[in-house]
Amino acid sequence: MDHGYISYSVFFICLGMEIILIGLSHKTAPVEIREKFSIPGDQAEDILGRLAGLPGGRENMFLSTCNRMEVLSVVEDREESAGWIKNFLGGVAGMSGDELTPYLYVRKGEEAVAHLFRVTASLDSMVLGEPQILGQVKEAYRQAVGNKAAGLVLNKLFHRSFFVAKRVRTETKIASQAVSVSFAAVELAKKIMGSLNDKRAMLIGAGEMSELAARHFISQGVREIIVANRTHSRALELAQSLRGKAIPFADFPGMLKDVDIVLSSTGSAHYIIHKEHLTGIIRARKNKPMFFIDIAVPRDVDPAINEIENVYVYDIDDLQGVVESNKEERRKEIQKAEEIVRQGVEAFQRWLSSLEVVPTILDLRQRLEKIRQREVEKTLTLMKNASDEERKTLDILTQSIINKILHHPISLLKHQEGKGEGKLYVDLTRKIFHLDNEEEDD
Amino acid sequence: MNIIFFMAALIIYLLGTAASLAYLVSLRRLFAKLGKFTLTAGFAVHSAALVVRYLEAGYTPITNLHESLSFFAWSIVGVYLVINVKYQVEVLAAFVSPVAAVLIILASLFPKEILPLAPVLESYWLPIHVTLAFFGNAMFTLAFAAGVMYLIQERQIKSKKIGAFYHRLPALKILDDLNYRCLTFGFPLLTLGIISGSVWAESAWGAYWSWDPKETWSLITWFLYAALLHGRLTVGWRGRRAAIFAIVGFAVLVFTFLGVNLLLTGLHAYN
């Protein structure tokens, strides 16, 4: 093996394939920008087609959700391609590439891999650990495969990212804690009342935040929602959209004994629910628990009500406190998840670097050399009377057989290096000769 | 021979305790499963120990403190395994395993020899009376556990200081239901236990009721639980008050079971 050949190859590695990711998310772009990229499924295929038309790109994936947009490409030269992709995305949004640039992040190589893994594992989501994103990434990948935009590298990359996401989901408790105020309220209600299936909730005041919380309660199975609001028309409107029942504002005190959860958010300057009022109600309810969620500032519910047995009152600060303590618990889980991502990136990078031509040629030679030595040894133990001359001849013979066999594959590998199908040849070579002893997991 | 099984059960309960505590700390499902499995295995081995002792002794082995404590531990685990079918409260195992382990360790400290049965106990009422009473006690023990957990969880939610227990303990509703369920099973068992004891007393001692300390304290326990059941059914007692009642009831029950035997003398003392 001559050294000239190796340095020649090393030079070419720099021209190999590179992974680049350009995107924007709720962390970098306001909704006005994000909504320009909320693209229906069929148009996403069109975008994939146009991405494929950009110079220097080999594999592409396009992901669009309400909180993020990402383009992941395997390219020849990432500096050059970054410019092309930015301009292209600007075109999609109806802006120039430069206008869009401040909202975009660009990740290259290992960082791009880590970013994709974090996104898929829902570590980069607005609601950390939410499960939809995995499905969305799978769909984006499916589209890329359908459009023949995904090749060797993206296939491996995505399968690895699904594997990482699965590990994060099963080995950490990222998704199990409520870190938004309305989720915390739902979680508390469940800790008090168990299942919410046979529970009724009443909204007093029809603000945006109580509507959001009400939707969480409905998704957790609350049986009925009752809405009371000073402006009755708004109560009717909200009741309709929540499939609940509107009652006149003045009637809410009489309704209290029939509801389990009360979400209060009126603009009243004083308490509207008093302790004296509640003691009778709780007796009438035979001590069935009640949960008051007071998100109004100034408060609607007399905090002294919390002192009554089987009644619980949480104001907005209390809920915020729960959220903080949940975040604390979760921080530990995030560390675990990040470690899983790190391992995933490492495994992927190992695979990627194995696709370089030089290490593959070295591995290939080594593998055959090992076989040769083993077989020569075996033969020599049978030929106990062989002279030194004969031994040497046998050695030379076997070596030259190997060289002859390897000549064509190696020159083909060298020839394909840096070309479109180059990685495919390397991958195939590694598989045929079983160069990666045990490809781990997946 | 029964001692070998007994010791094996002791070790398994200790393992179960370790697994349950590991679950409490880590919240890993694996430990919960392991804990439940060990508890079930411990119960099986413990049952074998009781059966073997029964065969070796020729009478139901609930006649001295060693046997009683061991049988009590067995009842608690058994009752827990039954309750667990309906109420999947994993943390309860973290209570039951250590309690079973402690009881059985206590049992191991008392004389284990099989002695000839006292003539007065030679009656088919022995297994009936004692089993009923012990199953009732086991139910009340679980009600106590549910009560303690309820108070801890309620404290957390009321005070708005969400700590480690908040995520580990089940919903207040579930703990309250569990408390109630144990009461509705435990109370009839206790009642039947007292009635069967009274009938047996008539045939053995010639009087249905003789105000022996055990009888007196059993009656006090009975009244306490009767009051709790009544409060729950008619006035709508629940939650905190019911939990506290279950805890007080259990304290009296422990005294009836242990205190009376160790501190007072009377017809029920046989060791």
Q: What confidence score (pLDDT) does residue A431 get?
A: 86
Distance from CA of A315 to the nearest CA of B (A): 10
- Residue A47 clears pLDDT 80, i.e. is over it: yes
- The answer on B45 and B132 residing in a single domain is no
Q: How confident is the model at residue A31 (pLDDT cuts 50, 70, 90)?
A: confident
At B218, the amino acid letter reads S
Query: Reading across the β-sheet that carries A245-248, which strands appear in turn?
Result: A245-248, A224-229, A200-204, A261-264, A290-294, A311-315
Q: Could you say which DSSP state residue A433 is in?
A: T
The pLDDT tens digits for A49-62 are 888 888 888 889 99
- The answer on B133 and B77 residing in a single domain is no
Q: What confidence score (pLDDT) does residue A7 get?
A: 36
Size of interface A-B (CB pairs under 8 A): 54
B157 and A191 in contact by Cβ < 8 A? yes
Q: Which residues lie below 8 Å from residue B137, measured CB to CB, with a gap of 6+?
A: B72, B75, B186, B190, B253, B257
For this structure, is A66 an active site residue?
yes
CATH no. for residue A87? 3.30.460.30
Beta-strand ranges (E) seen in A1-158 are 18-25, 57-64, 68-75, 105-108
Q: Which among A140, A171, A202 is the end of a domain?
A: A171
User: Please, what is the average pLDDT of chain B?
Assistant: 86
- Residue A6 clears pLDDT 60, i.e. is over it: no
- Give yes or no for a contact between A62 and A44, defined as CB atoms under 8 angstroms apart: yes
Q: Which among A137, A171, A205 is the end of a domain?
A: A171
**B159: nearest CA partner in chain A:** A306
Q: Which among B117, B132, B148 is the end of a domain?
A: B117
* Domain tally, chain A: 3
- Give yes or no for a contact between B35 and B16, defined as CB atoms under 8 angstroms apart: yes
Tokens representing B53 are 């002792």
Chain A residues inside the 8 Å CB shell of B157? 188, 191-192, 312
- The answer on A273 and A129 residing in a single domain is no
Q: What confidence score (pLDDT) does residue B173 get?
A: 92
Chain B residues inside the 8 Å CB shell of A287? 236-239
ipTM for the predicted complex? 0.85
Q: What confidence score (pLDDT) does residue A187 get?
A: 87
Centre a 10 Å sphere on the Cβ of residue A239 and count the other Cβ atoms it contains. Answer: 20
Measured distance CA(A63)–CA(B227) in Å, rounded: 65
SS3 content of chain A, % helix, strand, coil (to 5): 60, 15, 25
Distance from CA of B240 to the nearest CA of A (A): 7
Q: Which residue did the predictor score with more confidence, A442 or A65? A: A65
B160 and A289 in contact by Cβ < 8 A? no
Could you please report the per-residue DSSP string of A83-98? HHHHHHHHHHHTS-HH
Measured distance CA(A89)–CA(A23) in Å, rounded: 9
Question: Residue A366 sits in which domain range?
Answer: 355-432
- The answer on B155 and B269 residing in a single domain is yes
Q: Which residue has the tokens 């369920």?
A: B181
Which residues of chain B approach chain A closer than 8 Å at the C-beta?
27, 153, 157-158, 160, 162-163, 166-167, 170-174, 177, 235-241
- Give yes or no for a contact between B73 and B14, defined as CB atoms under 8 angstroms apart: no
**A326: nearest CA partner in chain B:** B162
**Cα dihedral sign for B56, B62, B64, B65?**
positive
Measured distance CA(A188)–CA(A294) in Å, rounded: 13
Q: Are strands A57-64 and A68-75 parallel, antiparallel or unpaired?
A: antiparallel
B162 and A286 in contact by Cβ < 8 A? no
User: Please, what is the average pLDDT of chain A?
Assistant: 85
Closest residue by Cα to residue A197 from A226, A221, A224: A221
Centre a 10 Å sphere on the Cβ of residue A378 and count the other Cβ atoms it contains. Answer: 9
For residue A346, being part of any structural domain is answered with no
- The answer on A139 and A84 residing in a single domain is yes
The pLDDT tens digits for A334-350 are 888 999 999 999 999 88
Could you please report the per-residue DSSP string of A235-275? HHHHHHHTT-EEEEGGGHHHHGGG-SEEEE----SS-SB-H
Biggest CA pair distance of chain B: 60
For A180-196, letters b (16+ CB in 10 Å) and e give bbbbbbbbbbbbbbbeb
Chain A residues inside the 8 Å CB shell of B238? 287-288, 310
Chain A residues inside the 8 Å CB shell of B27? 173
Q: What confidence score (pLDDT) does residue B187 get?
A: 94
Q: Which among A303, A323, A343 is the end of a domain?
A: A323
Question: Residue B168 sits in which domain range?
Answer: 118-271
Tokens representing A65 are 């959700």
The pLDDT tens digits for A135-175 are 999 999 999 998 888 888 899 999 999 999 999 988 887 76
* Domain tally, chain B: 2
Centre a 10 Å sphere on the Cβ of residue A415 and count the other Cβ atoms it contains. Answer: 12
Mutate to test the interface with A, among B28, B173, B244 (most CBs of A within 10 A): B173
Tokens representing B265 are 């003398």
Q: Which among B117, B145, B166 is the end of a domain?
A: B117
Q: Could you say which DSSP state residue A35 is in?
A: G
The pLDDT tens digits for B41-93 are 999 999 988 888 888 877 788 878 888 888 989 999 999 998 888 887 878 88
Nearest to B236 among A177, A193, A286 (CB): A286
Q: Which among B117, B139, B158 is the end of a domain?
A: B117
Distance from CA of A306 to the nearest CA of B (A): 7
Alpha carbon A65 to its chain centroid, in Å, reads: 11
The pLDDT tens digits for B188-246 are 999 999 999 888 888 888 888 888 888 888 899 999 999 999 988 888 888 889 999 99
Q: Could you say which DSSP state residue B236 is in?
A: -
Catalytic residue among A39, A54, A66, A402: A66
